[in-house]
Amino acid sequence: MVSYKELGLVNTKDMFAKAIKGGYAIPAYNFNNMEQMQAIIQACVETKSPVILQVSKGARQYANGILLRNMAKGAVEYAHELGCDIPIVLHLDHGPNFEVAKDCIDNGFSSVMIDGSALPYDENVALTKKVCDYAHEHDVTVEGELGVLGGVEDDVAAEESKYTKPEEVQDFVSKTGVDSLAISIGTSHGRCKFTPAQCTRTADGILVPPPLAFDVLEGVEKMIPGFPIVLHGSSSVPVEYVKMIEQFGGKIPDSVGIPEEQLRKAAKSAVCKINIDSDGRLAMTAMIRKVFAEHPDEFDPRKYLGPARDELKKMYARKNIEVLGSAGHALD
């Protein structure tokens, strides 16, 4: 058993309480490799933001649990060396079952998500409670989910989203003991968050998505006032990266994300954790394609992963300042 406390990590409890009070959201950035980790920590230290490092089931398979844990431990020391002891959470993203959640709790994670959103309600309650009971014995916090997002959640593909039902949330929270709740209000995973048919188009052909269901968010907040809410699928799919990828040979048609001003609005409410993965993938891919196109003779991975990491850092720093509002809150 390795406790996250030995690694210098924290759980989400204080972080979320401060975020709700302060009207901002904590960035939850996914990582699988060293360059992503460097970019996240550099950006969050520079902007003095607390941060949640997220690891999906796929990331654990890709990168190895022991390496990931030691990278998170290294992240704590790296932040210190860079000059700011920002609070860092190591979080399991979309935990698929009790066994994976337990394995993470036993191996240095300070927070886990158990994603029972595809299960019938009573089964979601039972599974989430089982994870909460075990996690809380170890002072690990738990995120549950109610409602179904469109797009792809690891192995779970949902054809269309089903908004969270506000009338269910109070019962779910009290029966499970969960510490935060992911809800569905129209966000979805990946780079195509809506079909072109669901969007309108600007004169220059850019897709404009329908607005998020803020009425559902308000309904949820009324039922569980002050309870920490999480938004998944919150990449904004920046047009400049989509264009750059296509300019340098990529093909990613119909890309459309969540407009940043809507995320900013959500961050001012009880939404205190916003998940961003796809935007990081787009930023890195855009820069790597650019380097390859402009320097076809380059074959040193540091020469393309380095610029990709720097672009990623720039993007995360901007998000912390302009979207999440978490900048400056590391030492609250």
The nearer residue to ligand G3H, 20 or 89, going by C-beta atoms, is: 89
In whole angstroms, give the CA distance from residue 26 to residue 229. 11
Phi, psi (degrees; rounded to nearest 5) at 29: -105, 130
Half-sphere exposure of 28 (CA within 13 A, CB side): 32
Please list the residues that pair with 207 across neighbouring strands.
201
Within residues 231-270, the interface with Zn ion by CB under 5 A covers 232
Beta strands in 167-259 (DSSP E): 180-183, 200-201, 207-208, 229-231
Residue 203 φ then ψ, to 5°: -55, -35
Contacts of 121-127 with CB under 8 Å at 24 or more apart are 121/168, 121/172, 124/172, 125/172, 125/175, 125/176, 127/97, 127/98
CA 206 to chain CA centroid, nearest Å:
25
**Which amino acids are annotated as binding site, given as ranges?**
94, 115, 145, 189, 232
Considering only residues 15 through 34, tell me which ones interact with ligand 13P, judged by CB under 6 A: 30
Of 13, 53, 10, 8, give the one whose Cα is nearest residue 316: 53
Residue 234: CB minimum distance to ligand 13P, A: 5
Note whether 111 binds ligand 13P by CB under 6 A.
no
Catalytic: 93?
yes
Residues 218-237 touching Zn ion, rule: CB under 5 A, are 232
Mark 162-201 with x for binding to ligand 13P (rule: CB under 6 A) and - for no binding.
---------------------------xx-----------
Task: Give CA–CA dist 184/231, Å, rounded.
Answer: 7
In the complex, the smallest distance separating the C-beta of residue 30 from Zn ion, rounded to whole angstroms, is 9
With contacts defined by CB under 6 A, how many residues of the chain interact with ligand 13P? 14
**Binding flag, residue 234, ligand 13P (CB under 6 A):** yes
For residue 94, state whether it binds ligand G3H (rule: CB under 6 A): yes
The DSSP letter of residue 191 is S
Q: Is 272 in the site for ligand 13P (CB under 6 A)?
A: no
CB 242 within 8 A of CB 282: yes
CA distance 326 to 217: 20
| Partner whose footprint covers residue 116, from Zn ion, ligand 13P, ligand G3H, none (CB < 5 to 8 Å by kind) | none
Choose the catalytic residue: 93, 179, 277, 279. 93
Q: Specify binding-site residues for Zn(2+).
A: 94, 115, 145, 189, 232
H helix or E strand, kind and range, residue 5: none
Name residues whose C-beta falls within 8 Å of residue 240's C-beta, 6 or more positions apart in sequence: 286
Q: What is the distance of C-alpha 207 from the center of its chain?
A: 23
Count CB-CB contacts under 10 A for residue 331. 10
* Site mask for ligand G3H (CB under 6 A), range 252-291, x = bound: -------------------------x--------------
Is residue 191 a contact residue for Zn ion (CB under 5 A)?
no
233 is an interface residue for ligand 13P by CB under 6 A:
yes
> Interface with ligand G3H by CB under 6 A: which range of 54-62, 102-110, 165-173, 199-207?
54-62
Among 143, 221, 277, 311, binds ligand 13P (CB under 6 A): 277
Residue 145 touches ligand 13P, criterion: CB under 6 A: no
Minimal distance in Å, beta carbon 182 to Zn ion?
A: 7
- Which residue ranges make up the site for ligand 13P (CB under 6 A)? 30, 93-94, 189-190, 232-235, 275-279
Among all residues, which ones are annotated catalytic? 93
Residues near ligand G3H (CB under 6 A): 30, 56, 58-59, 93-94, 153-154, 189, 277
